[in-house]
Amino acid sequence: MILGNQPYNAFGGNYSCVCSDTGSAMLCLIDYIRAHGGEKTALYGVNPASLADQERLACFETYCNKEDVYFNDQSLQDCFRQFCSAADQYDAVICANDLAAVSLVRRLREHDQNDRRLIITSCSGSRLLSRFAPQVIPVSLHFGDFGRGAVFVCESIVKRPYISALCVKIGCKIQADASRGAPVFQPAPAPGRLSSDGEFQAMLRIETMLELCDQTDLQLLDGLLQGKSYQEISDSCFMAVNTIKYRVKKLMRACGVESKKDFVALLSPYMQ
């Protein structure tokens, strides 16, 4: 049995699968955009090497124009450059994944474009993306639903020996409020094609680190990003300086950096 974000039968052979209903998620986003006045929508950050993105693309082209697709072929910067030249004609954007959404909002801010006039949506709901709420509206897939789907598949096959394989597709829901916090299923990016994109890799390292954070860690990160010293953070959080240093060092290791200066430099473009 395979649990994941890849469409059923992506690998050939006869196996059971619990996967996200990518087509349903796309339709959910398109319906949401149209219900909120969106008339012309772009699909942004499509990875040509991702099977899940190919399914999103096929669904998008059923309801929207294929000329409004912007591919992320190893460079989010190039993807934005192509989109930016036509951005004024869109009132909504569906981002193929959360990292593309974070990159888009960050670059719109840098270019002093009014990103708030756009309805920006994403196909999942990572912790890094939550820093950009409510500007980006995601759909979410929960770990628990995948687990329940796996149990259902196992029980069904045991009770019905004539069934050789089952596919269970997990539905999604729009997360339109800014108080998101429940753990969500964050699909791993397709390997290879994006490995040379420094921006993509930086966001992936930050997301990995955020998965380890509790609320206290997030407070410490906010303090560092505000330029506070360890002592100043200690005074505001009522925590010993050595404890703060220990926690920060653990988060730095998760990001693969060795100095506080490099840590803050990595986080600042995406978390301030």
Helix (H) or strand (E) holding 153: helix 143-159
| Confidence at residue 114, expressed as pLDDT on a 0 to 100 scale | 53
Distance of CA 6 to the CA centre of its chain: 15
- Kindly report the backbone phi and psi dihedral angles of residue 109, in degrees, each rounded to the nearest multiple of 5, phi listed first: -65, -45
Reported as a single tens digit per residue, the pLDDT across 68-86 is 999 998 889 999 999 998 9
Calpha distance 25→31 (Å, rounded): 10
The band of 7, judged by pLDDT with boundaries at 50, 70 and 90, is: low
The band of 185, judged by pLDDT with boundaries at 50, 70 and 90, is: very low
The band of 178, judged by pLDDT with boundaries at 50, 70 and 90, is: very low
**Residue 192, pLDDT above cutoff 50:** no
Yes or no: say if 141 and 184 are a contact pair by the CB < 8 Å rule: yes
| CA-angle at 103, arms to 119 and 7, nearest 5° | 80
DSSP-assigned letters across all residues of 61-117 = HHHS-GGGEEE-SS-HHHHHHHHHTTGGG-SEEEESSHHHHHHHHHHHHHTT--GGG
Distance of CA 266 to the CA centre of its chain: 18
| Confidence at residue 190, expressed as pLDDT on a 0 to 100 scale | 45
**Residue 17, pLDDT above cutoff 60:** yes
**Residue 37, pLDDT above cutoff 50:** yes
Reported as a single tens digit per residue, the pLDDT across 204-255 is 899 889 989 999 999 999 999 999 999 999 999 899 999 999 999 999 999 9
Type of residue numbered 42: A
Reported as a single tens digit per residue, the pLDDT across 160-173 is 988 888 888 888 77
| Confidence at residue 191, expressed as pLDDT on a 0 to 100 scale | 44
The band of 186, judged by pLDDT with boundaries at 50, 70 and 90, is: very low
Which phi-psi region, left, alpha or beta, contains residue 179 (left: φ > 0; alpha: ψ -120 to 50)?
alpha
Calpha distance 124→150 (Å, rounded): 20
Yes or no: say if 97 and 57 are a contact pair by the CB < 8 Å rule: no
Calpha distance 211→266 (Å, rounded): 16
Reported as a single tens digit per residue, the pLDDT across 110-140 is 876 555 577 888 877 678 888 777 788 888 7
| Confidence at residue 3, expressed as pLDDT on a 0 to 100 scale | 67
Question: How do 173-174 and 136-140 pair as beta strands?
Answer: antiparallel
